[in-house]
Structure 1
Amino acid sequence: MSSLALSQLLLAVTLPLLELEPTFVPTAQSELSPSGGKSGQQLNQYSGEGESVLVSSYVHLEFSSTAWPQELSKNFTLPTALAVLPPKTLTGLGLTTECRANHSGTSLCTCHPGYQWNATLCSLYPHCWGRRSERDSCMCRSFHGPVTGYCQLLPPVPANLTLDSQLQMHGNTLNLILLKKEEATNLRWFLRHSKNHTPISLWPGTNVLQTSSKGQASLRVARISRHWAGEYESIFEAQGFRWRLRQQVKVPLQEEEVVRLPDALSISCAASTGFQLSCCIPLTTDYTATWSPGEDSQASLQKMSDSQCFVLAVPHCPATNTTYTCTLQSQNLPPLVAPVSITIIQDGDTTCPEDFSVVSWNVTKAGFVAQAPCPVNKKGVVKRLCGTDGIWRPVQSSCTEAKILTLCLKAKLLEGQGKPYEEVPWILSELQEQVGVASTPSDLWEMLHTVTLLAKVVAETSTELTDSALKDLLTTTDKILDANISALWTLAQAQEPSMGSDFLKAVETLVHSLSPQQHPFSFSSANVLLQSQLLRHSSPPGYQMSFSTWPLLQARIPWHSLAPLVHSGTNVSITSLVLQKLDYRLPSNYTQGLWNTPYTTPGLILVVSITADGQAFTQAEVIMDYEDMNGTLHCVFWDHRVFQGQGGWSDEGCEVHAANASITQCICQHLTAFSILMSQHTVPENPTLDLLSQVGTGASVLALLVCLVIYGLVWRVVVRNKVAFFRHTTLFNMVICLLVADTCFLGSPFLPSGYHSLICLATAFLCHFFYLATFFWMLAQALVLAHQLLFVFHQLSKHVVLSLMVMLGYLCPLGFAGVTLGLYLPQRKYLWEGKCFLNGGGVMLYSFSEPVLAIVGVNGLVLVIAVLKLLRPSLSEGPTVEKRQALVGVLKALLILTPIFGLTWGLGVATLFDGSIVSHYAFSILNSLQGVFILVFGCLTDKKVLEALRKRLRGSRSSNSAISMVTNETYTSEHSKERSEPASYEERMTD
């Protein structure tokens, strides 16, 4: 060692000892050896004559110059004290450690190449520059006082770092294998990007898997991208030293990372003589670009903060359509080609004119998409389609704040890179400043996605948040829930319906991560309220917290749920968080038991969490009191597990109690995000209403049986012409379908309910199918009537129309019912809870109501056409007779066609938007008596049916022609070649 102060050198000399007894070698001065012993002592003992051993001795040399004497690198003769030892000369002498002492008495000792401080001494003394690093190579150490050792010769590298290929494709999985020849400890992995000299630590996360076993360790990175390219470094300890192995990994640039502005262009040479093309790539990539064709064009490079653009300025409009190509190249990587097509607008082409909406839009050819750059500090592109009619379509923008994208990327990379305990608080601090500048749906989505990513990282690494970091999160949450960006929520949720649920889960996770040392903690803002506290043995029994919200909310946890945790001596922290307006951003999903009616929420969600010694507990009784709540209420929580991870409201484990006239009490047996649902239009359980429905359906079944008997007696008589055949065929099939459906409905309460019962499932399916079939046959009858009213002299083929009616009446409802069964039975959403009937809540409601209401709408339109035809004046009648006959015809049409066309089911819309009990009574009574209406207005008001039935009951066998005359039949039989005057509109509707 050399010292500026002492001008002396301490050498470690290794000598061979050949067939001699061990000799004690004195030194000029007593010093400490690297192992802690005195210098001048023999370190290795000789045993056995005729063997070779190595003897280590320490020689204290003094010389006048501080520089390393060049003579010491040459052969020289040993001192007299050592001359008795062979060999007589040294063939080489190397410097291992160089120390420089400063005036404070501190020595900075650096190892020469091939030498290193051992790992134990390395961990005891600080680095020369005072910083400690997990990447420290143990090449320099600072000693305050005497130097206690020297750098030692490194043995051969005890491991090998291998990689299948340095060139890794985007989206692939990277596998680095460390083959260990010796036992290795303290293994760590790092990544150094090409443009960043500071290595980044890698930790096991969503993207990174680290494994270690005897003889081998591995690093596995899933879904790599250019952000995972660079120099990988493995640092470990083996054989008493710290080792560092490196491996270079390259990831080619991807086509989607190349921004072409524009990627296609239509240009009018008359309006513009030249244009400019840009090919932009991230700044962190080492690529060069060339444009072709590039003749008479000027290429330039423009560098921004995080990207570089290769710009081609074309001064002249090309003569024909041309494709320009931007070719990107990098050393040892395949080239990447980005084409840009230029289309010349010709005379006569349809174009969209120049426009200045949002940005400046040049003349564009119809069918092309014009592009423009985003404003300053935003990334993305603004697009606008020129329609085929030459009219500009709405502007489509994907512009996002560059700072928000940067924060989102940092959060994404924390899934395996960096130090979460340092970077998560920093990202939260920066994010809350960006909410105010959010102006597009993509801005909002990126912010919410950033919070979701941070929550995942915090959960995986068990990172604890400080009070300042949590305050930044809650401030961000408050701003995100503010009404000023509610329009952004609507647009963003149209693309990502689950974003509200994901955000709620992320906020829950981050709030739970508050460090125990930060309790108690409170936060209050317009949309976010939080209170947390620590429970100790001296704390009052139970936990209670009040919030000044609407409705007024008070939450408490009984002592019996907390006593086991508190008495065990652990640190128990309870956090209560109220989020207002977030429930409006959650999907309208309801689990089984909540599907039978639409709901509203009071606008708040309560999140309660209990943590004991860093472990979260989910089971505890929570009692919540809501004041001034009216209507039918349901105590619910948001279950993130249902609806394929999208989340939904569930009442499992929660009960509602009326504490008094003004307070509704919810009691839940678990901890999560709670709220309360209010039925929008709920009719209380009404035995009278249920009885009327049962009696009406029973009367309908009897009436339908009477219809079948009547048709059995008079069928051949009443279907002698096409119009009558079509009408009575549809009525007959309506009777059959409605009879089966009503019978299944009446019998379903007597069947064993549940998905385990096949007969229950079959009954529900038959009800669904035959009720739908009834309406489709009503539609068939309405369409036939509409044809007869609008196309008076057009004849229909009986066989064609009958085939079409069968397909419409049975195949269409079978398709609806079958698809509904296939979609919702596996999810156990098909049956109404506790009943053998189709579930009437949620999406299932629309599988029945939407086709029914559509048919009712079409049938209503046909009724309007019929009424208008009846009101048309007749030339052969006087004014008084005309008005009287028109009025009678309209009333008769309304009485007959309203029940036959199922128009009474239109009252179902009123039950959805009107909470009055009157609408529910009207709907239940009128539609349970559907069969009675068919009997009265479909059979008993038909003159031909009544006359035929009367003659059949009298035993009369009248001829076909006589019957036709008695019933004023105005249509000839299908075999007649001549036709009399067309029947009146009234006759067409009743016949």
Structure 2
Amino acid sequence: SVASSSPAAEEYTVDVEISFENASFLEPIKAYLHSLSFPIQGNSTDQAANILSIEVTTVCRPTGNEIWCSCETGYRWPQERCLQNLTCQEHASAPAGHRCGCLKGLPPKGPFCQLQGDVTLRMSVRLNVGFQEDLRNTSSALYRSYKTDLETAFWKGYSILPGFKLVTVTGFRPGSVVVTYEVKTTTPSPELMHKANEQVMQNLNQTYKMDYSSFQAVTSNETKFTIIPEIIFEGDTVNLVCENEVLSSNVSWHHIERRSDVQNTSRFSVYTTVLNNMTSVSRLTIYNITQGDAGEYICKLTLDIFEYESRKKIDVLPLRISAPEEMKVTCDNNPVSLNCCSEINANWSAIEWKQEGKINIPGSPETDLESGCSRYTFRADGTQCPSGLAGTTVIYVCEFVSTYGARGSKNIEVTFTSVANLTITPDPISVSEGQNFSIKCISDVSNYDEVSWNTSAGIKIYQKFYTTRRSAAGTESVLTVKTATREWNGTYHCIFRHKNSYSVAMKDVTVHPLPLEPDILVDPLEATVPCKGSRHFRCCIKEDKDYKVTFRMDSLSFLAEKEVNGKQVCYKYNFMASSVSWCPKKLDIFCHFTNAANHSVQSSSMKLNLVPGEKIMCRDPTIGVGEPGKVIQKLCQFSNVPSGAERPTGGTMTYKCVGSRWEVKKNDCISAPINNLLQLAKALTKSPCQDKKLPTYLRDLSVSTVKVKHEVSSFPGSLGAIVNILDLLSTVPTQVNSEMMSNVLSTVNTILSKPMLSTWKVFQKQQTNQSSQLLDSVERFSRALRSEDSAFLSINQTNVQMRGMVIQPGHPKTYKQNFVFSDSDLWGNVAIDKCELGSLQWGSSIVTVAFPTLKNILTQDGQGKNVANSLVMTTTVNRNITMPFRISMTFKNTIPSGGVPQCVFWNFDLANHTGGWDSSGCYVSRVDGDSVSCICDHLTSFSILMSPDSPYPGSLLEILLDIISYIGLCFSILSLAACLVVEAVVWKSVTKNRTSYMRHTCIANIAASLLVADIGFIVAAAIHDHFYPLNETACVAATFFIHLFYLSVFFWMLTLGLMVFYRLVFILHDASKSIQKTIAFSLGYGCPLVISVITVGATQPQEVYTRKNACWLNWEDTKALLAFVIPALIIVVVNVTITVVVISKILRPSIGDKPSKQEKSSLFQISKSIGVLTPLLGLTWGFGLATVFQGSNAVFHIIFTLLNAFQ
């Protein structure tokens, strides 16, 4: 079977209009309708039709010759009826404030009023009873009781309102008791609302003490709130408009964010009016609106107890304009466009362009207001931006103007750069190797970012070869080459760059081949020839070029004979002694090379000694001949080489004629591989791009040194050559990277290995400064080392180790590096504390290199009387250090029993700049078992108390101040202790009256405070001088107590001065002892404690309470020293004034003339008073004023220390 169902029931609501023309039916119908109960059920069995309500809506009555139609309670005329018909007088039941309750004449579409919409009235009323906290708790009995009673009264009262539906109590708040509640109804008239409120009062128990005058009602949904414009920009003129059919001119505006009512000002204007006697309109106009004006605004219209409120939030947008911040333009007459667009599309009325600057380069704008973009195009040529103003910046401004007045602009910085006119050295440059030349490049533009020189291949010339000087007329850059090599042959570019604009001038340089004087190998260096004998002389170079070579002696010149031997070319001349008439004689022979450019170079001299033949004893075909005792040198290339040894290519061999044989006296030969490296190093220092070649060369040097270490150990000269190479290369770099430093130390590690030590010993007997030169070279490389990381790489080799760090924000508080060499059984460490690190600039690097074997060769003399027996550590900082700098080091103690350790440093200036050990400035701080600790010796002088400066450590001034300080403080401490003992012994006998009691109280406290302060000062100096690195906590504590008790000394001296003044001036006034003691101790200890605590509290959290180099108040960072200096000097001035008053009292004239004896007595009294008051009132501290200023004369420091250390 199939189930069937009837269609779902549909419900319709039907409004039926019934009209009665007889006005007499009005009241009976109203009475009848009032008696009915709704809904009324229909009688149909099939479909139900229920009558929900029957109400009278519209009543028309004849009035005179007119018909007046009015709406009953809860109904109102539609707005269009009000606009089309004339209104009559107000009907009693018309809604509050409305002027359209009654119309004249029948409306053309029938007299039909419409039901008003529901509104929710947010109301409040005050009960004049005490507020109880239970009224905040909705579940409390009191809350429920109040709510029930009040809602019952509200229902009975407000049920007379048209369209009344609901009333609800929403809460209570203090002020006696304020009841808040909501009434849902149609908008009633004020009169009807007052009647309803009266009904509420009558239906509420009088114990609630309801205040009738406190009824308030706020309604919403009645006001039309509009904002013009919808999108608001800063600077716009904005209108906020409120419209309401309630007729009232009592309208207020409120800005929520500023929590204030809006008043008429220069930027805010409020205007309220009633239009056509039908609508209230209030307009708030905000001129030149800012983002601070954004937020929520409330428009509130008030009529009787009703408030009609509407609120809206406005957002104020900044005018964001997209355009480039800056542009660089070259004045080459090419079109340039500046583009400016608004990020938000708005109603723009105009986009304007203007410019500001020294030069005027106009253009033409193209603007599209709809898209909010504008383009400004101009052409700049050389006449508009002349060379003198190259690099001038012109500001182009694109300004957007909105329809409502907002203006926003964007500045575009356009830098105009003319193509700089460069003038370069006009004459052709043609030089030969070894000669100098310079190229001068002059620009008519003085404004540039960079000047550089390049080769035609784009290789940048090392900056040490050129200098640039700027002047008002332009700029001059000069490239200077002191020794030209063939690498300098080519075209050179002088480049001026400003922003992205480049000006280039070129110059060709021709460098003709010509051997350099050191590259011409001569043989012999010195020769002895019998008067009738002969000798071959030769000059050799490494390449075969077309040179004209002659040998010259005195005024004679001889053509040389050319001989090619592999890669070496030699020019020879056979000198016949019989060809000259002078014998015996000493002559200098030179070989003279002339190239195709007619430039010439002369070799080093070959010394010729013509002697009688009978004196010749030693003869050798290679070495030559000589008389007994004769010492000669020969280049190793032309010397006798022991069998089996590789022929060296560098250095010299020294021979001595002993008997009839030549003996080797000194061997300075350099092996071929090392000599080649030395020649390359010399060439590199003359190269135009030496900084680019240096990394590769250092890598090759490191690898080659390891490969040829056998040759290095065989030839002491090779070892010296490597030292010379490192010395040469250390002068090249301005910056060294980690890889370069690693290669340098790899080379050093090889030449300092233990197998090399015997070679060093031989070498040291010949040249004692080579080890010092090596150390100096490593330090130069260390100072040039740069790293981006705060922690350097750690390099560990058998014979050398390196550690380092970069000073950066948040870097470690201390620098401490440890070095351990297990092969040498040596260790050591170096430490620099935070105070010293704090004096370094950010980006400074600290590098420490340690050597275990350098101690064996770094001796002051060949005998090695003063020998280091620990690690040699060198620490460098790559920035200049202007303040005293202190380093602590610890070494393994390897001193034999009975030996006395010394802490020394290598002073490169000793022994005629060959270097030596120096102990000045450093000392042994501790010998503990197998360790020796060294630190610098740096004492603290007394004058530091009031001076921002500290004497330079080790200076004569520092030593003198230290001696005065410590002697004076020791005497003072003993004297003050004795003073306190004496005071304690005689206290009862000298304090019998108030005056003497207070005087001795002040003296005793001055002595006690000064004693503690002086002891604290010595303790602080000891902390600083003997316990380095500084113990920060101890230093802060010492500084605090020194500050506190020296201030106490001054304030007790002030108390004593004021007491003297009080007794001299206020003779007849006598305060009680308790008052005087309270004032004295408050001044003496209270004020210093407050100042000291505030000072340490304000500065110590930032760790700038104490100085970096002393335990005393900071000056450089926080000027905390003023917390001592200012109170001290003020007190000194006050006490000086009191002293003057005392003297004036003594000099007061007596009646009659003074006899001579009385005058002498007065003079004695004055002297006695000054003598007593000067130390008691601290007048000598006035000299501290002279030491407060930085750089003050040393005399003031000495006087200040001398006077006050003995106080």
Please say whether Structure 1 and Structure 2 have the same fold, judged by a TM-score greater than 0.5. no
Bin for the TM-score computed over the shorter chain: 0.3 to 0.5
State the structure with more CA Rg: 2
- TM-score normalised per structure 1: 0.41
- TM-score normalised per structure 2: 0.34
Which one scores higher on RCO, CA 8 angstroms, separation ≥ 6? 1
